[in-house]
Structure 1
Amino acid sequence: MLKEIYEQPSAILDTFRGRLLSKEAIIKMSGVEDNMKKFLAADRIIIVACGTSWHAGLVAEYIFEDLARIPVEVEYASEFRYRNPVITEKDIVIAISQSGETADTLAAIKLAKSKGAFVFGVCNVVGSTIARETDAGAYTHAGPEIGVASTKAFTTQITVLTLMALRLARAKGTMSSSEFRHHLIELETIPSKVEEALKSDAYVKTVAEIYKNSTNFLYLGRGFNFPVALEGALKLKEISYIHAEGYPAAEMKHGPIALIDEQMPVVVIATKKGHYEKVVSNIQEIKSRKGKIIGIVTKGDTSVKELADHVIEVPETLECLTPLLTTIPLQLLSYHIAVMLERNVDQPRNLAKSVTVE
């Protein structure tokens, strides 16, 4: 798993290699280009996935709606297939799966196709069932992922979906050419910024040492980073067997704040972009209730530093690209806690790499 966490800079680079041409300000994705009319005529996009891929879909919802102004719904494939959903020929269904073999996602694809929707697949494994069953698609090129807890698959899925959103935004005219170029140049710097975020590893290990015996964790994020909070909590559950919950930071007042005391570590994603002041105010509420705060902040941040017990810095980037960086320290934190608790991080109990049964 640690190897795969450290492979993320090269995996992200491989994912946009040949697709992202920042000098020419072009995104080349044949699966999108060949079906551009369908994408532009779509009433909405429905994303179906399970587990970590579902979290990547949630990030994509924010990105597609923000950049391309296309309505998006994100569904658990297992729920979607059983609830008689309203699907028409004017819908595009994006199915996300690392293995391309996930049983529920496959069933959701078959249902969507039977209703006449256009289905686009985002997979990592070449020639997998989902890659064959979908009308078009894009591979993530993350390379083989052996660890059961998904790391590089998550960041490369977000990379592919971001490229798609940018391409559609440009085609729809919801983004100016200078904005488009700016996003491409910034996306191109992400691999080196992920590399920089990985340098916090030693410090994350010291934080892990302090909280390894906690029985509960709370993860909070807003906007683009709310799905990252969910993903961070899932990683901790999967490999360390510690109960963790991810919440939108503002929802804390609607229940979870009752859980906060001096025994409760709270991981807060508080990057400079987005609803920064609101998140800082959430941190103050946690502080006043004696919660232990681990802040994921933009490099050079001072406000959160004064309030949090620990801060882990990530480089600055555009708001829509922050999930690719903020997820890194959360992966490392889960990994170190699990190793300290002597868990089998690559093959956690009761879990399979790809869920091929219902």
Structure 2
Amino acid sequence: MTTKMRSEIAEQPAALRATLDALLPRIDEVKTLGEQTRQLLFIARGTSDNAAVYGRYLVEAHTGRLATLAAPSIATTYRRKLDLNGVLAVALSQSGRTEEIVETLAWAKDCGARTVAITNGGPQSPLAEAADLALCTLAGEEKAVPATKTYTTQLAALAVLGLGLGADVDRGDLRRVPDEVEKLVGEPGDLAEIVEGLADKPGVVVSGRGLVFSTALELALKLKEACYLHAMGLSYADLLHGPIAVVDEDTPAILVAAGEGPTLPGTISLAERVVGAGAAAYGVGGGDGLASAANASLRGPDLPEWVAPLGLIVPGQLLTEALARRLGIDPDAPRGLNKVTQTD
């Protein structure tokens, strides 16, 4: 039986094409807002927060602007007013109905920020209506509780945001993403071997750095949500500062990397260190170098680093779905989760 999660993973190429068709023509609208601001503030929770991490690295690495992640409790719990003049506040919510995120975006506007919403909830969603500019993704209805296509289309919207803010990249790379995702859905790599390698393990460390740090965080979250693993998502820089001690024969490492870029050599070195210490290292992406250093690996997209996260998460989603079934868990409806989470 095909799960809803597996079906929705396969729908991502179409969802990405539709979203890019809708949002790429709006780059000039982003540019207009961007010209009125100098730095960015990302507002999100959960999976959307992981997408925001990608947005932060993209903006700082390729537009030269400072970008930070908001603490919504400053607005909703402490109720402090900040000076946000010159700030572009970008709120992300798949449903567009998470009250905390809507309230925080309204707070940011009241504090002087210009505002953008990224949501799959449509232009009539509360978040879209609260924003100066709404970038609505076209993932379609997502029935499985773990987010897949709503996450990748959020990343696509953030890539468009980066282009509108003047990112020094080739926008043609973005148009290649759906085809690369389609290839990964069909041929993810050593999926069965890694599923078996994780099936009897209580936990796993998932690590990446830079633009792909978002992928490590999102894969760790998915493994926690749908497989009930104690999965820790870390930058490999932080991992090496102490938590590397938890990696052993009972706690393997999943290491994520784009096929190019400044963080790839360090990821390969980390894989070699993990394997040398007697633990299992599983690669996601990273080309032949990471595949050779790891015990087994999942393929990554043939994309430059700035858009690689849009494809890198896909084999991780497939791994999560397959591992959940292997563990006897329904990945469509893991315990304790709902599609819309409201924070007190």
Q: Using structure 2 for the length normalisation, give the TM-score.
A: 0.92
Distance 2:290 2:32 in 1: 46
For the residues of structure 2 that align with 1:35 and 1:270, how far apart are their CA atoms?
29
Tell me the equivalent position of 1:70: 65
The alignment's C-alpha RMSD in Å is 1.9
Which residue is 1:328 aligned to?
A: 314
Q: Following TM superposition, by how much is the alpha carbon of 1:66 offset from its aligned partner in structure 2, in angstroms?
A: 2.1
- The correspondence for 1:247, drawn from 234, 251, 254, is 234
Letter in 1 for 2:272: Q
Given residue 332 of structure 2, which amino acid in structure 1 is its aligned partner? D
Q: Which residue of 1 aligns with 2:206?
A: 219
Pair 1:7-2:11 in alignment: yes
CA shift digits 1:200-245 (9 cap, x unpaired):
3473133212311210010010111111101000000001111100
- Structure 1 residue 34: deviation in Å? 4.3
Aligned to 1:265: 252
> 1:205 is matched with which residue?
192
Residues 1-358 of structure 1 mapped to structure 2, 5 A cutoff: 1-20=5-24, 28-29=25-26, 33-34=28-29, 36-78=31-73, 81-83=76-78, 84=80, 86-126=82-122, 127-169=124-166, 175=168, 183-201=170-188, 203-274=190-261, 275-299=263-287, 301=288, 303-358=289-344
- Any conservation in 2 of the 1:296–1:311 contact (CA below 8 Å)? yes
1:21-69 Cα offsets, whole Å, 9 max, x none, are xxxxxxx21xx63464441131211010000101111101111122222
C-alpha contact 2:204 2:232 (8 A) present in aligned 1: yes
Residues 106 and 130 of structure 1 are in contact (CA less than 8 Å); yes or no, is this contact kept in structure 2?
A: yes
Change (3 A) 1:306 1:19: closer
Q: Does structure 2 retain, via aligned residues, the 8 Å contact 1:260–1:290?
A: no
How far is the alpha carbon of 1:90 from its aligned partner? Answer: 1.6
Preserved CA contact (<8 Å) 1:217 1:265:
yes
| Aligned-partner Cα distance in 2 for 1:189–1:226 | 21
2:285 partner SS: strand
2-structure distance, mates of 1:305, 1:71: 34
Q: Could you say if the C-alpha distance between residues 314 and 34 of structure 1 is closer, same or farther in structure 2, counting changes exceeding 3 Å?
A: closer
Q: What is the percentage of aligned positions where both structures have the same residue?
A: 28
Q: Give the letter aligned to residue 89 of structure 2.
A: V
d(CA) in 2 for partners of 1:17, 1:340: 37
For the residues of structure 2 that align with 1:142 and 1:87, how far apart are their CA atoms? 35
Relative to structure 1, is the Cα distance of residues 269 and 350 closer, same or farther in structure 2, using a 3 angstrom cutoff? same
Unaligned segments of structure 2, at least 5 residues:
none
1:350 to partner: Cα distance: 1.0
Q: 1:298 deviation in Å?
A: 4.1
Quote the Cα distance in structure 2 between the aligned partners of 1:357 and 1:36: 33
Whole-Å separation in 1 of the counterparts to 2:74 and 2:202: 30
Instruction: Name the aligned partner's letter for residue 109 of structure 1.
Output: L
The answer on whether the counterparts of 1:50 and 1:78 sit within 8 Å (CA) in structure 2 is no
1:54-112 CA distances to partner (integer Å, 9 max, x unpaired)? 11111011111222222111124346644536332221110000000112211211211
Between the aligned partners of 2:31 and 2:246, the Cα distance in structure 1 is 48
- Decide whether the 8 Å contact of 1:196 with 1:314 is kept in 2: no
Amino acid of the residue matched to residue 255 of structure 2?
V
The Cα of 1:114 is off from its aligned counterpart by 1.9
Letter in 2 for 1:297: G
Cα distance, 1:185 vs structure 2: 1.8
User: Aligned equivalents of 2:39 and 2:231: distance in 1?
Assistant: 33
Using the alignment, how far apart are the partners of 1:62 and 1:263 within structure 2? 32
- The AA in structure 1 aligned to 2:46 is G
Inter-CA distance 79–152: structure 2 relative to 1 (3 Å threshold) = farther
The answer to whether the Cα contact below 8 Å between 1:42 and 1:90 also exists between their aligned partners in 2 is: yes
Q: Note the C-alpha offset of 1:311.
A: 1.5
| Aligned length, in residue pairs | 337
Residues 299-347 of structure 1: per-residue CA shift (max 9 Å, x gap): 4x1x333321102122321110110111111111111111111112111
